[in-house]
């Protein structure tokens, strides 16, 4: 799998630091980190780092976090697939040249709203399972179909087509972000918001704010990500008459804001936001999917674990992980991310065996997602370096993930 240039995160940090004529001490000062952290990363003695550390280094080096971590940059090609995923095809669907030349050149019959919704439902299910390559193959056609329908239909059918188009653009944004194409993802979000203005589903505005906050977080624009999520959360703050979906979207926005806050090391803000989100989740009683995003007691619980790991409170994270209720109710990718957080905590505590077990559990839940998840890949690489036996399970895991070395 292609990734950012360089053989590892330490190499990329060192290369950019030298290009900017900085010493290790100067970089550490600009990033508000210890020189020891910079040295260990550059020397390869550490392959993993807290995301707040990666964001701080990215800001100091004026680059994207995805470049430092070696984010995968293209789709893998499934061995048995007629429709091959393509970054270029996804870019063309999001930014067709007809928008610049004027007019819609497609002459196909518009697909029915029923067919569009069925295609979106299928794509959303594939996304929750982490089958990234299939999303890359199916999504460009879904976007084209929804555009055709939105132009061809009128009235309520046009609004319905734009609703599908808005969500499809957001799936494109998250997919492109996972491949380190954050600028293209931002374009997809602009188009999603434009489609939302042509439909009649107010909840899609909240979904767009959540997705945009996530894209901005991945870009390293943490203050912007926090502001976007909080602004929308304040606008839709629930009352007695709020629907469960509205309550769930509010909770998701709070967690998005907390994710941006924790990477800025704003621990007090994280604590307050998590408290509000947890209360909202308790009021719901159980997790529910809103536009393929879960929210409820379980998702709030795994978010707490993630934040504790980010704050280097690893002992607390392990304890909190044991208290997460009904984990099986979450989609596979959410469960896998939870297991990766457990693995990170165990790794920091020096328990390589338990870290490997957690990673193997993540792979069982979402094997393809793992191949695109840079944190998982870096952690597997680090654990493989500590393996004392050639038949250690982490070595076989590294081979399955295609981790070089």
Alpha-carbon span 31 to 295, nearest angstrom: 34
Work out how many domains the chain is built from and give that number.
4
Asked if residue 81 has pLDDT above 60, the reply is no
Same domain, 165 and 249: no
Average pLDDT over residues 210-214: 96
pLDDT band (50, 70, 90) for residue 91: very high
Within a domain: 218: no
Tell me which residue of 330, 286, 284, 285 sits closest to 305, measured CA to CA.
330
Same domain, 33 and 77: no
Of 3-7, 79-83, 286-290, 324-328, least confident by mean pLDDT is 3-7
Q: What pLDDT shows up at residue 104?
A: 59
Same domain, 111 and 85: yes
Asked if residue 151 has pLDDT above 50, the reply is yes
212, 236 contact by CB (below 8 A): no
Q: What is the pLDDT of residues 272-312, one digit of tens each?
A: 999 999 999 998 999 999 988 999 999 999 999 999 999 99
Last residue of a domain, one of 70, 96, 111: 70
Q: What pLDDT shows up at residue 5?
A: 43
Same domain, 194 and 111: yes
> Which residues have CB under 8 Å from 162's CB, separation 6+?
146, 150, 195, 196, 198, 199
Same domain, 260 and 288: yes
Q: What pLDDT shows up at residue 70?
A: 78
User: How much is the CA Rg of the chain, to the nearest whole Å?
Assistant: 21
Share of the chain above pLDDT 90, in %: 74
Within a domain: 350: yes
Asked if residue 313 has pLDDT above 60, the reply is yes
Same domain, 317 and 343: no
Q: What pLDDT shows up at residue 184?
A: 94
Q: What is the pLDDT of residues 44-69, one digit of tens each?
A: 888 788 888 998 999 999 988 888 88
Distance between start and end Cα atoms, the chain: 13
Of 14-18, 199-203, 365-369, least confident by mean pLDDT is 199-203
Of 97-101, 231-235, 357-361, least confident by mean pLDDT is 97-101
Q: What is the pLDDT of residues 328-346, one digit of tens each?
A: 999 999 999 999 999 999 9
Within a domain: 208: no
Q: What pLDDT shows up at residue 106?
A: 53
CATH number at 58 reads 1.10.260.40
| Angle at which helices 51-61 and 35-42 cross, to 10° | 90
Q: What is the pLDDT of residues 95-129, one digit of tens each?
A: 998 877 776 555 568 889 999 999 999 999 999 99
Average pLDDT, the chain: 91
Same domain, 229 and 303: yes
Same domain, 168 and 277: no
Asked if residue 405 has pLDDT above 70, the reply is no
Last residue of a domain, one of 273, 297, 329: 329
Same domain, 288 and 389: no
Element (H or E) spanning 19, and its range? helix 9-19
Within a domain: 264: yes
171 alpha carbon, distance to own chain's centre: 11
Within a domain: 341: yes
What is the DSSP pairing of strand 293-295 with strand 288-290?
antiparallel
Q: What pLDDT shows up at residue 2?
A: 46
Same domain, 321 and 335: no
Choice between 105 and 378, residue whose per-residue pLDDT is larger: 378
Same domain, 316 and 383: no
pTM over 0.95: no
Phi-psi group of 291: left, alpha or beta (phi > 0 → left; psi -120 to 50 → alpha; rest → beta): left
Q: What pLDDT shows up at residue 167?
A: 96
Tell me which residue of 305, 326, 327 sits closest to 316, measured CA to CA.
305
Last residue of a domain, one of 70, 101, 126: 70
> How is 271-323 classified by DSSP, letter by letter?
HHHHHHHHHHHHHH-S-EEETTEEESHHHHHHHHHHHHHHTT-HHHHHHHHHT
Write down how long the chain is: 405
Domain of residue 141 covers: 72-201
Asked if residue 42 has pLDDT above 50, the reply is yes
Q: What pLDDT shows up at residue 108?
A: 66
Within a domain: 182: yes
382, 347 contact by CB (below 8 A): yes
Within a domain: 57: yes
Same domain, 153 and 87: yes
Within a domain: 239: yes
């Amino acid at each position: 799998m292609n990734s950012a240039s360089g053989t590892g995160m330490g190499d990329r940090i060192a290369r950019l630091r030298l290009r900017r004529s900085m010493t290790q001490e100067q970089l550490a000062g600009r990033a508000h980190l210890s020189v020891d952290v910079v040295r260990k990363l550059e020397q390869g003695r550490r392959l993993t780092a807290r995301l707040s550390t990666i964001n701080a280094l990215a800001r100091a080096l004026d680059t994207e976090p995805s470049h430092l971590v070696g984010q995968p940059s293209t789709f893998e090609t499934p061995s048995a697939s007629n429709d091959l995923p393509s970054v270029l095809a996804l870019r063309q669907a999001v930014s067709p040249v007809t928008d610049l030349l004027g007019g819609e050149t497609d002459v196909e019959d518009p697909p029915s709203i029923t067919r569009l919704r069925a295609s979106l439902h299928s794509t959303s299910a594939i996304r929750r399972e982490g089958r990234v390559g299939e999303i890359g193959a199916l999504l460009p056609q879904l976007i084209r179909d929804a555009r055709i329908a939105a132009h061809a239909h009128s009235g309520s059918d046009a609004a319905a087509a734009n609703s599908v188009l808005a969500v499809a653009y957001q799936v494109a944004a998250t997919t492109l972000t996972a491949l380190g194409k954050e600028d293209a993802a931002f374009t997809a979000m602009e188009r999603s918001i434009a489609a939302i203005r042509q439909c009649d589903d107010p909840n899609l505005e909240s979904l767009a704010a959540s997705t945009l906050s996530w894209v901005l977080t991945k870009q390293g624009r943490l203050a912007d990500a926090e502001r976007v999520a909080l602004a929308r959360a304040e606008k839709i703050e629930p009352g007695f008459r709020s629907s469960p979906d509205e309550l769930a979207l509010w909770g998701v926005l709070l967690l998005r804001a907390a994710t941006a806050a924790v990477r800025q090391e704003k621990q007090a803000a994280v604590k307050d936001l998590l408290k509000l989100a947890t209360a909202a989740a308790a009021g719901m009683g159980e997790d529910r999917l809103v536009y393929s995003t879960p929210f409820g007691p379980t998702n709030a619980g795994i978010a707490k674990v993630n934040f504790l790991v980010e704050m280097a409170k690893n002992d607390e994270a392990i304890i909190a992980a044991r208290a997460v209720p009904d984990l099986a109710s979450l989609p596979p990718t959410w469960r896998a991310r939870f297991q990766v957080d457990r693995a990170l905590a165990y790794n920091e505590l020096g328990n390589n065996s338990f870290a490997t077990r957690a990673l193997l559990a993540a792979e069982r839940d979402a094997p393809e997602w793992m191949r695109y998840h840079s944190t998982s890949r870096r952690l597997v690489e680090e654990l493989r370096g500590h393996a004392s036996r050639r038949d250690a399970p982490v070595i076989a895991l590294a081979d399955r993930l295609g981790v070089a070395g």
